[in-house]
């Protein structure tokens, strides 16, 4: 371990807000600028309460007034309230097995800066130190969100296989060294929440998110809310059986969806070492073995999507991740998997394939910090 001591972050503090003020702020963030007469009925607030709340938010610099719209029933112009995005900044950090991806966003989750770096080490203390160094590079942050693949309960990473972490309390040491409120969560859950907030799934009532890459992640939105289990566990269904004669996943299952889809599991089926990009190239150029591997992965992906659609009948199935090239290479077989599994007309499945960018993971980590800050959960 190195002996560097990162400079303490110059933090911007968050005002104390009432429940009604939090609700109004969140409503404006999620649905955009609105007049008082639109907000009051949506949140079932009386006009005097809303006036009081608005005044607090404006005084705190979080909300601005301006821009008028002729939308009121009386035809009188009504003034729109909007979130002052520039009032606060948040840092989001997504950890992988060997890199960190960081993004600074404003209060409205707009990205204003981003950085990425290889992890110097995966020892928790070293990661804390490195994240704190990134934070110290930005002035006036209000909060920090960190996400990673694994199980996270109340700021404690109970199991993160890629980093080799078991029961690592991450939020307290990060707060101690940065002075910032810190939110930690599973990366796919944070991404699902962000996609539902301002991304491809904005506002939909139900959605399944599937990410493919180093691991296979799943996230659910039901009745307009991110699904969290009774024990704080995220929904996980990436290990459904596809073919009992298939390869083994990290848990030793034979032929589960993950065993066909994880990057490492795909590469293991080739002779000799190669990168994922090289494997994709071989499949694209029609090499027989490579096509077999990717078509088996594509079929497994289709089965997974079909099961997810059977479980939930969602408005949308959102597919993303750094393993997306497998979808491009084996698209037709993906649909065979869907057809063999889904119990209704596959045309009902709105499959939305989102181009992948690690920056989006970092942005969703910042969005996590924003949500937790507003709701007072950090």
Q: Which of 84, 120, 236, 239 binds Zn ion (CB under 5 A)?
A: 239
22 vs 239, beta carbon nearer Zn ion:
239
73 vs 244, beta carbon nearer Zn ion:
244
The window from 191-199, 241-249, 295-303, 361-369 that contacts Zn ion (CB under 5 A) reads: 241-249
The window from 75-83, 97-105, 242-250, 310-318 that contacts Zn ion (CB under 5 A) reads: 242-250
Query: Which tokens belong to 200?
Result: 């491809």
CB of 234 to Zn ion, least distance (A): 16
Query: Which tokens belong to 164?
Result: 């080799």
Q: Tell how far CA 352 is from the center of its chain.
A: 16
The window from 38-46, 237-245, 260-268, 358-366 that contacts Zn ion (CB under 5 A) reads: 237-245
Counting residues that bind Zn ion (by CB under 5 A) gives 6
What is the torsional sign of CA 278, 192, 165, 143? Answer: positive
Query: What are the C-alpha distances in Å from 102 to residues 116, 227, 253?
Result: 6, 26, 34
252 vs 277, beta carbon nearer Zn ion:
252
SS3 161: helix
254 vs 284, beta carbon nearer Zn ion:
254
Q: Within positions 32 to 51, which residues make up the interface with Zn ion, using CB under 5 A?
A: none
31 vs 251, beta carbon nearer Zn ion:
251
Query: What are the C-alpha distances in Å from 113 to residues 16, 266, 275?
Result: 27, 34, 30
CB of 77 to Zn ion, least distance (A): 59
238 close to 348: Cβ distance less than 8 angstroms: no
Q: Within positions 244 to 303, which residues make up the interface with Zn ion, using CB under 5 A?
A: 249, 251, 253, 256, 258
DSSP conformation letters of 39-98: HHHHHT--HHHHHHHHHHHHHTTSEEEEEEES-STT---EEEEEE-GGG-EEEEEEE-SS
63 vs 266, beta carbon nearer Zn ion:
266
14 vs 237, beta carbon nearer Zn ion:
237
Query: What are the C-alpha distances in Å from 112 to residues 43, 108, 202?
Result: 31, 11, 21
130 vs 259, beta carbon nearer Zn ion:
259
CB of 262 to Zn ion, least distance (A): 9
77 close to 333: Cβ distance less than 8 angstroms: no
The window from 109-117, 215-223, 232-240, 345-353 that contacts Zn ion (CB under 5 A) reads: 232-240
CB of 240 to Zn ion, least distance (A): 9
- For the chain, count helices (H), then strands (E): 13, 16
Q: What residues form DSSP beta bridges with 92?
A: 103, 145
196 vs 253, beta carbon nearer Zn ion:
253
Phi, psi of 140 (to 5 degrees): 65, 40
CB of 251 to Zn ion, least distance (A): 5
324 close to 292: Cβ distance less than 8 angstroms: no
Separation CA 219–CA 230 (nearest Å): 15
Q: Within positions 313 to 352, which residues make up the interface with Zn ion, using CB under 5 A?
A: none
**Largest Cα–Cα separation, the chain:** 74
CB of 78 to Zn ion, least distance (A): 55
CB of 250 to Zn ion, least distance (A): 7
Q: Tell how far CA 211 is from the center of its chain.
A: 10
Neighbours of 36 (CB within 10 A): 19
The window from 239-247, 295-303, 313-321, 324-332 that contacts Zn ion (CB under 5 A) reads: 239-247
The window from 191-199, 236-244, 294-302, 305-313 that contacts Zn ion (CB under 5 A) reads: 236-244
CB of 248 to Zn ion, least distance (A): 8
CB of 1 to Zn ion, least distance (A): 35
Residues near Zn ion, by CB under 5 A? 239, 249, 251, 253, 256, 258
């Amino acid at each position: 371990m190195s002996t560097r001591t990162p400079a303490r972050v110059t933090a911007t503090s968050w005002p104390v807000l009432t429940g009604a003020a939090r609700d109004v702020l969140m409503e404006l963030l999620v649905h955009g600028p609105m007049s008082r007469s639109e907000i009051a009925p949506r949140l079932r607030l009386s006009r005097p309460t809303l006036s009081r709340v608005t005044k607090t938010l404006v005084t705190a610099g979080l909300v601005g007034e301006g821009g008028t719209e002729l939308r009121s029933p009386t035809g009188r112009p009504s003034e729109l309230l909007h979130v002052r995005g520039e009032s606060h900044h948040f840092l989001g950090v997504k950890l992988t097995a060997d890199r960190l991806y960081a993004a600074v966003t404003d209060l409205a989750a707009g990205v204003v800066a981003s950085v990425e770096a290889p992890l110097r080490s995966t020892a928790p203390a070293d990661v804390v130190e490195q994240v704190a160094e990134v934070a110290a590079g930005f002035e006036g942050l209000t909060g920090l969100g960190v996400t990673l693949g694994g199980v996270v309960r109340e700021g404690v990473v109970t199991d993160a296989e890629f980093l080799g972490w078991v029961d690592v309390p991450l939020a307290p040491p990060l707060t101690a060294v940065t002075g910032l409120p810190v939110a930690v969560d599973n990366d796919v859950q944070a991404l699902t929440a962000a996609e539902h907030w301002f991304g491809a799934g904005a506002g939909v009532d139900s959605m399944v998110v599937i990410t493919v890459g180093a691991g296979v992640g799943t996230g659910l939105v039901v009745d307009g809310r991110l699904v969290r289990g009774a024990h704080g566990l995220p929904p996980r269904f990436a290990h459904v059986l596809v073919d009992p004669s298939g390869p083994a996943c990290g848990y030793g299952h034979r032929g589960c969806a993950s065993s066909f889809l994880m990057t490492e599991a795909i590469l293991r089926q080739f002779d000799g070492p190669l990168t994922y990009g090289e494997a994709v190239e071989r499949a694209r150029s029609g090499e027989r073995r490579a096509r077999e591997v990717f078509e088996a992965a594509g079929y497994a992906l289709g089965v997974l999507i079909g099961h997810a659609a059977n479980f939930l009948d969602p408005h949308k199935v959102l597919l993303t991740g750094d393993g997306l090239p497998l979808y491009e290479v084996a698209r037709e077989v993906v649909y065979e998997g869907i057809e063999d599994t889904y119990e209704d007309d596959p045309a009902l499945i709105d499959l939305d394939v989102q181009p992948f960018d690690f920056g989006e993971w970092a942005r969703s980590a910042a969005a996590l910090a924003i949500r937790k800050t507003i709701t007072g959960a950090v």
